[in-house]
Structure 1
Amino acid sequence: MVEDEQKAAGTAGPVVLHVLPVGGGILAFSQLPGTGGDYRGDLEHLSSWRPAMVISLVSHVEMLEAGAKTLGQDVQDKGTRWVHMPIKRGEAPNATVEEDWPKVSTQVRKALLGGGRVMLHSRDGKGRSGMMALRLMIEAGEAPDEAEARLQSVQRGAFLESWQRNWSLQAEREPVPFVRHARSG
């Protein structure tokens, strides 16, 4: 109830990170920094998590509306790689995103395999972020049904529209890499 009142007043707390272990690293998704009215506070909160990469799935207009006009530069100034893959709200990824996705996905999976942290964000941290998170989980080797169940277990609102789910399920599943960890002692 307090959270709903804060959102209505534009004073919601810092963005919430929904995190999942994926491919040896951690994949997080959240709402766009600034959506609750405190862009600088959100940016500090997110940067304290120390992601290796941040992928923005919002349009320039959405960033302007949230007060996040300088998000890309601000993220990079904190030493984090920033990738902008704008997907219009309620629409499937366009041809540019489709063309760029294989390269970005490969970079994300390499970061995760090395134990890195990667963050996705969309306006509300549900639809577009959930769609991309599910796609990455499958590409990292997870069974689609198990990946979808895990995604929904950490973000109850990440129920995807049928077209988002279908786009995610088109992912080519990679073999799960075997990683041998050094013995201690």
Structure 2
Amino acid sequence: MTVIHALPVAGGILAIAPLPGSDGDYAGDLEHIHGWAPALVISLTTDVEMLAGGAQNLGAQLQDQGTRWAHLPIADFGAPDAGFADKWTGISGQALQALAGRGRVLVHCRGGCGRSGMVALRLMIEAGEAADEALERLRTVRPCAIETDAQMEWALAAPRGAALFLRHPQ
């Protein structure tokens, strides 16, 4: 069964995990995720990775269960490109709203380390956490979080407290 590595962020729960089915039990992993009840799942795997893992229908199946789903593919060991950046603001806003409302957000990549750790750290910083403290907390639950310098650079480029408007509307 896929292990969900979770920690409290901005009043909710943020988690990272491997691609459902990567352990050979896609149906069991999907049921486990459904039971965990995320408000939003962010998939960072490519279409090829999802197909190879038997998870090509993940988005539709999550949405059928009432979970919002965002697919922002990044190549393994990669960092976001311009296309990702264009979509990030909206997805980040959804994730931060869910967390601020005491919801759960699950981010996954193939192994549940590099790409998912990068996005989790970015969300933690955008939620107002200091980068060094956020990284330490994240690596306490998932030591392999963030695998490349480019991933770390993208995560650390987050505007700290970008989500403050969610808690203090003007």
Match status 1:96 vs 2:96 = no
Unmatched segments (≥5 aa) in structure 1: 1-13, 181-185
Q: In the alignment, which residue of structure 1 is the partner of 2:158?
A: 171
CA contact (8 A) 2:42 2:69 kept: yes
Could you give the per-residue CA deviations for residues 49-102 of structure 1, whole angstroms, max 9, x where no partner exists?
000000000001000111111111011011100100000112221211111101
**1:16: how far off?**
0.2
Task: Tell me what 2:61 maps to.
Answer: 74
Match in the other structure for 2:98: 111
Aligned to 2:132: 145
Whole-angstrom CA distance in 1 between matches of 2:79 and 2:113: 14
- How much is the aligned-residue C-alpha RMSD, in angstroms? 1.7
Shift of 1:129: 0.3
Percent identity, aligned pairs only?
54
Could you list the runs of 5+ residues in structure 2 that have no partner in the other structure? none
Q: Deviations over 1:117-171 (max 9, x none)?
A: 0000000000000000000000000000000000100012224311111110000
Match in the other structure for 2:18: 31
Check whether the contact 2:40–2:69 (CA below 8 A) recurs between aligned residues. yes
Cα distance in 1 for residues equivalent to 2:22 and 2:151: 22
1:121 has 2:75 as partner = no
**Counterpart residue type for residue 42 of structure 2:** I
- Runs of 4+ aligned residues of structure 1 deviating over 6 Å after TM superposition are none
**1:154 match:** 141
Q: For the pair shown, which has the larger CA radius of gyration, 1 or 2?
A: 1
TM-score (norm 2): 0.94
Q: In the alignment, residue 148 of structure 1 is paired with which amino acid?
A: L
SS of equivalent to 1:118: strand
